Amino acid sequence: MSAKPAPRVGLFVTCLVDAIRPRIGFAAIQLLEEAGCIVEVPLAQTCCGQPAFNSGDDADAARLARQTIAAFEGFDHVVLPSGSCAATMVHGYPDLLAGDADWAARARDLAARTHEITSFLVDVMGFRPEGRRLEASATYHDSCSGLRDLGVAAQPRALLAAVEGLQMRGLEGNDVCCGFGGTFCVKYAPISNAIVTEKAEAIQRSGADLLLAGDLGCLMNMAGKLHRSGAATRCFHTIEVLAGQADGPAIGEEG
Amino acid sequence: MSHATTRAPFKARADAALADRTLKLAIDRTTGTAEAKRAAALSAFPEFEAARARGKAIKDHVIAHLDHYLEEFERNAIASGARVHWAADDAEARAIVTRICLEADARLVTRAKSMLGEEIGLPHALADAGIERVETDLAEHIIQLAGEAPSHIIWPAMHRTREQVADLFRTGHHPPPAAEDPASMVQSARRELRAKFLGADVGISGANFLVADTGATCTVTNEGNAELTTTPPRIHIVTAGIEKLVPSTAHAFALLRLLVRSATGGEMTQYTTFHCGPKRPGDADGPEEMHIVLVDNGRSRMLADEFRAMLRCIRCGACMNHCVVYRQIGGHAYGGTYPGPMGAVLTPVLDGLAAARDLPHACTMNGRCAEVCPVGIPLPTLLRAWRARSWREGREPGAVRAGLSLWARLATRPRLYRLASRIGVRGLRLFGRGGWIARLPLAGGWTAHRDLPRPEGRTFMEQYRAWQARKGAGR
Ligand code: SF4
């Protein structure tokens, strides 16, 4: 196709995708390969360290940051199916390791190569999925870190617009937090519940068949609330739809 | 000054707030309107980003040269005839203000809304000194009648619905309002308050800006009550935090443009007043004495630590109007003088981390506050800095520490982690039926309110390695 050599991409699947919904990881591999990348999944990855980082446990967060930096050295790009894990690597690691010149430089180098997957596909690879069809209506929630820390907003929408038959519906408060917040949702469960209750109501008011978003944590929160309140909305990660997997089980459906 | 340590803990206050549907209605009305008006004001103000950069630069410059501008301000204020007092903390500030009142034999004091006055505990101090206090701001009047503290830094009585205010006025006004429409209620409050405005010995106000090169203090209001508080009485006392300094009047206006649009969505407040010294010979009105109390109360400590950026805050309230947590629990649940994201950063400074540890944690880190802040304060970063300090000081609960450290030990050993995940997801599946888990021991915070998707069964890493092996074999 093009004269440029295919970029080598290291995929960080994230701990939640690894444990709860591996199919998002396979959707990522499929899309990255369709976009012309050579994809590898380094075995030395576990979690980006966000639970420690956001709890103020800087020592453990720094340990995980160094492990992740080392695991992804040498890749042209590092791609994640999560805005919040990507933001931790892009903004959190350089801050966390600022006190150590060598590691700080390596953290900045990783940060410069790290991307949330939908923005990578559009902004770096100029990719649009071809031949995808899905007769459904969907609404999209902008997960906070991706939106505000990385500017992920237009890219997922542009990709979804390439899926034939998919009707996008507006979501009231699409850029308002769903109340997940990592450990926040269990530490301050009643507050988190009040927030996600309003979010679930807005999703239902959209009338869409599907709820799409780019972070599994937020999706589990919203899907779990929708299911508890008896809603029929089916929830997918954006890239599952882009990879043509929306005919498979949604979050909370047995495959 | 707050009473965080003596009140119910944060979680209990939050639960009580969540159960109060009238409160929720009041919060939604005010924050919803504020959000819409701010958005409209910004869409008509395309130079907002440039103005925000300028506002941030002005504040940063002043913070970097605070001692210089404080001296310049003091010199010019004294030259204008005002007296300048320095208070290191809230207790000193209270003592200075009550001493001035007592020396003047003041029996009646009028006060214009000032969050700094709340911060230093002025309402209680005046009561303790036997001085009658009349709040001239309508919202402050409402919470004075209710015996409450402000729940928002711009709309102190936003936690009360119109209907509740009507009830308060019916019993608190003599005679009660003629009717319960807003106009009659305002009329009634005006009748209650005006007489006292004119009979007061001392008027106390805050300041939105302290102008270094003129020695003037600047207050902005929408009701004009600050003018009536500060002009008729013999003595005018201004209490202000030292971070309110600006180099010149032009700088005050640059910040004012940001403040008003961010706070109320207006272009200008109805009343913007500069006070420069007491009445001079030939002046038609004005106080005989003007006192300015410059309050530190933790601010110079912030200059030197990781919370320095917080000194930029111009108290516009936009961060709380756009905060998902504030919009569920309101201001009182925070337990400090300042609520919402800015309060969650400031209250640990003012009341100590021991009393306020929950506040920096009760945040989803969604970043909307920083996005709307007109002086670009990175509020989530500052909240995380409190979490890190709390961790370093050993204030986090033992169970949290133990859980995280066990998890971190696994997560830093990828082989072991992969094994533990394989076992973990299989274990987790045992708790569910179909695709969902409805109840899970140790995760009650999650499953009390929502279902948990059941893991697929095999981890990604397991499936990926099997897939790689198949691909390798097929080659
Ligand atoms: S932190 Fe920013 S948004 Fe919040 S009150 Fe202060 S200036 Fe306004």
* pLDDT tens sequence across B356-370: 999 999 999 999 999
Question: Are B426 and B280 contained in the same domain?
Answer: no
Decide if A141 contacts A180 (C-beta within 8 A): no
Cα gap A56→A50, rounded to integer Å? 10
Global confidence as pTM: 0.95
Question: Looking at ligand 1, which residue's alpha carbon is closest to its atom 7?
Answer: B313
Residue A64 touches partner B, C-beta closer than 8 Å: yes
Mutating to test ligand 1, I would choose from B155, B319, B321, B346 the residue with most ligand atoms within 8 A of its C-beta, which is B319
CB pairs below 8 Å between A and B: how many? Answer: 202
**Cβ pair A195:B325 closer than 8 A:** yes
Mean pLDDT of A85-111: 97
Residues 6+ apart with CB under 8 A from B244: B207, B208, B209, B210
Of B126-140, B239-253, B382-396, which range is least confident? B126-140
Contacts with B336 (C-beta within 8 Å, 6 or more apart), sequence order: B2, B4, B343, B346, B347, B350, B351, B356, B359
Of the candidates B271, B274, B268, B256, which has an alpha carbon nearest to the alpha carbon of residue B218? Answer: B274
User: Is the pLDDT assigned to residue B54 strictly greater than 60?
Assistant: yes
The percent of residues above 90 in pLDDT, for chain B, comes to 82
Residue B95 belongs to a domain: yes
From chain B, the residues in CB contact with A22 under 8 A are 456, 458-460, 463-464
User: Is B376 within the bounds of a domain?
Assistant: no
pLDDT digits (tens, 9 = 90+) for B237-284: 999 999 999 999 999 999 999 999 999 888 766 788 899 999 888 888
Q: Would residue B88 count as lying in a domain?
A: yes
Shortest distance between the Cα of B93 and any Cα of chain A, in A, equals: 34
Q: Do A46 and B435 touch (CB under 8 A)?
A: no
Least confident of B174-188, B215-229, B315-329, B416-430: B215-229
Same domain, B168 and B295: yes
pLDDT value of position B1: 41
In a domain, B349, yes or no: no
Task: Please give the number of the atom of ligand 1 that sits closest to the Cα of B315.
Answer: 5
- Spatial contact of B32 and B365, defined as CB atoms under 8 Å apart: no
Say if B121 falls within a structural domain. Answer: yes
Q: Is the pLDDT at B5 greater than 50, yes or no?
A: no
The answer to whether the CB of B154 is under 6 A from ligand 1 is: no
Distance CA B313, CA B243 (A): 8
Written as six digits, the tokens of B82 are 């005002």
What CATH number corresponds to the domain at position B56? 3.40.50.10420
C-alpha torsion angle, residues A160, A164, A169, A174 (rounded to 10): 0
Does residue B255 line the site of ligand 1, with CB under 6 A? no
Q: What is the pLDDT of residue B2?
A: 43
Q: Which 82-111 residues of chain A touch chain B by CB within 8 A?
A: 95
Task: Tell me how far the alpha carbon of residue A124 is from its chain's centroid.
Answer: 17
Domain count across chain B? 2
**Domain-terminating residue out of B300, B329, B358:** B300
Does some domain include residue B246? yes
Side chain identity, residue A184: F
Residues B364, A177: C-beta atoms closer than 8 Å: yes
Cα–Cα distance between B384 and B388 in angstroms, integer? 6
Cβ–ligand 1 distance for B23 under 6 Å, the answer no
Q: Is B425 on the interface with A (CB under 8 A)?
A: yes
Inter-CA distances, B247 with A132, B259, B293, Å = 60, 17, 18
Contact criterion met (CB below 8 Å) for A176 and A147: no
Q: Which residues contact A179 (CB under 8 A, 6 or more apart)?
A: A185, A191, A192, A193, A194, A195, A196, A199, A221, B324, B364
Reported as a single tens digit per residue, the pLDDT across A143-178 is 999 999 999 999 999 999 999 999 999 999 999 999
> In chain A, what are the domains?
8-123 (no CATH), 131-242 (3.40.50.11810)
- For residue range A80-92, what is the model confidence (pLDDT) as tens digits? 999 999 999 999 9
C-beta of residue A22 within 8 angstroms of C-beta of residue B459: yes
| Residues B301, B307, B313: CA angle, nearest 5 degrees | 100
Per CB-CB distance under 8 Å, the chain B contacts of A67 are 412, 414
Model confidence at B222: pLDDT above 80:
no
Domain assignment of residue B458, yes or no: yes
In a domain, B113, yes or no: yes
B315 lines ligand 1 (CB under 6 A): yes
Give the contacts of B305 (CB within 8 A, at least 6 positions apart): none
The per-residue pLDDT of chain B, averaged, comes to: 93
Q: Which of B276, B300, B324 is the last residue of a domain?
A: B300
Nearest CA in chain A to B422: A19
Distance B369 CA to ligand 1 centre (A): 8
- Give B227 Cα–ligand 1 centroid separation in angstroms: 25
Q: Are A97 and A128 in contact (CB under 8 A)?
A: no
In DSSP notation, A6-62 reads PPEEEE---HHHHHT-HHHHHHHHHHHHHTT-EEE--TT----SHHHHHHT-HHHHH
Which phi and psi (to 5°) does residue B159 adopt?
-80, -5
Q: What is the extent of the structural domain holding B177? A: 42-300
Which band of pLDDT confidence, cut at 50, 70 and 90, is reported for residue B86? Answer: very high
Residue ending a domain, choose from B300, B315, B333: B300
CB within 8 Å: A19 and B425: yes
Residues B296, B418: one domain? Answer: no
Nearest to B408 among A43, A60, A175 (CB): A60
Give ipTM to 2 decimals.
Answer: 0.96
Q: Does B174 touch chain A (CB under 8 A)?
A: no
